[in-house]
Structure 1
Amino acid sequence: MTSTQNVPENRIQIGQLRSAYGLNGWLWVYSNTEPMSNMFDYLPWYIETKAGWQTIDVKRWKPHGKGLVVALKGVNDRTGAENLVGANIWIAKSQLPKADVDEYYWSDLKGLTVLGLDDEEQEVNLGQIYELFETGANDVMVVKATPDSIDAEERMIPWHKDVVQRVDLEAGRIYVNWGVDY
């Protein structure tokens, strides 16, 4: 691990160091990538610790059970690993491949305003995308109310071609075929 001031300004979180594994400095790692092991295609990693930003290099990694464990250069014992537990793993966003047409990175969708329809088919603000998650059928947007939204409701809106009508990243909006009373 190396202290760094050169943290990419335009970065994306791809995972988190979850818990120490064993006595030799290994850690359980959570991956936001699909498949999970893709996170090792994007190096170096940046983590923010109490000591500031660090660049970390992966020494080794392996699948273990239903997850992944990783050995990091400079982390040689359990105490060193425990000091990193909870640290988010970041990379430069420029390392990711460009999304195809009509495909989006979840990180680009978080925070967008979701516009739906009221009973008179008028456009209304339903809130902002707070998070997304996968289900067996399709992804789901968790939309939380904002001071500008039509009500204080939290909504779970499926990411489906019949629901998502248009995404305008530049304007920060998603247009959905989703009523206020759904």
Structure 2
Amino acid sequence: MKPTQNVPEDRIQIGQLRSAYGLNGWLWVYSNTEPMSNIFDYLPWFVETKAGWQIVNVKRWKPHGKGLVAALKDVSDRTLAESLVGANIWISKSQLPKAGVDEYYWSDLKGLTVVSLNEEEQDVNLGQIHELFETGANDVMVVHATPDSIDSEERMIPWHKDVVQAVDLEAGRIYVNWGIDY
């Protein structure tokens, strides 16, 4: 595998190469896609290694236990596979399908300013979305305070239709029905 300069500017991380599997260059693949096997719909991958960015093509893949394993083109033995362990898997965001109406990629939500209304119906800055995670019941936004936010609190705000009022990606804001003292 040769280093490449053609790394997409609009890249998004969709997984990671976790550990070598067997002797023939296969690797365990961690996927951020839902379902996890969708990671193989977005090829080629870009991985950042100690040698620089590389374009990776998958020869074969299969589910194994609760995870996924893959054979990569030009990775034919365990030593080469081990050199890729820990590398994050990136793709060009343009490879993803467009989100549907009222659907958002988490990567588009990170960094948005979270705004609520106080009793006087005035905007209150609660901070910025730092990350999102799944709980089973619903997704949760982790909101970190910023120099402009009302206080220095970190907030966990559920992504729920009763809470999320509007998302304005162009303005970089998400409006929520969430009290300052929650």
Fold-level similarity (TM above 0.5): yes
* Alignment partners' CA distance in 1, 2:75 and 2:119: 58
SS in 2 for 1:136: coil
Q: Could you tell me which residue of structure 2 aligns to residue 114 of structure 1? A: 114
Stretch moving more, 119-128 or 18-27 = 119-128
Q: Could you tell me which residue of structure 2 aligns to residue 8 of structure 1? A: 8
1:124 paired with 2:120, answer: no
Paired residues in the alignment total 182
SS in 2 for 1:132: strand
After TM superposition, list the pairs within 5 Å mapping 1:48-127 onto structure 2.
Answer: 48-118=48-118, 120-127=120-127
CA offsets 1:68-106 (integer angstroms, 9 cap, x no match): 111111112222112111111111111111111111011
SS in 2 for 1:179: coil
CA offsets 1:96-142 (integer angstroms, 9 cap, x no match): 11111111011100111111234554321111111111122211111
* Alignment partners' CA distance in 2, 1:26 and 1:157: 40
1:47 paired with 2:47, answer: yes
* Alignment partners' CA distance in 2, 1:166 and 1:83: 44
% identity of equivalent residues: 86
* Aligned-residue CA RMSD (Å): 1.3
User: Which one-letter code corresponds to 1:165 in the other structure?
Assistant: Q
After TM superposition, list the pairs within 5 Å mapping 1:8-27 onto structure 2.
Answer: 8-27=8-27
Stretch moving more, 61-70 or 110-119 = 110-119
SS in 2 for 1:37: helix
Q: Could you tell me which residue of structure 2 aligns to residue 135 of structure 1? A: 135
**Shift >2 Å, 4+ stretches:** 117-122
* Alignment partners' CA distance in 2, 1:2 and 1:14: 21
Does the 8 A contact of 1:119 with 1:180 survive in 2? Answer: no
| TM norm structure 2 | 0.95
Stretch moving more, 117-126 or 23-32 = 117-126
1:32 paired with 2:32, answer: yes
Stretch moving more, 39-48 or 12-21 = 12-21
| TM norm structure 1 | 0.95
* Alignment partners' CA distance in 2, 1:120 and 1:67: 51
CA offsets 1:134-160 (integer angstroms, 9 cap, x no match): 122211111111122111211111111
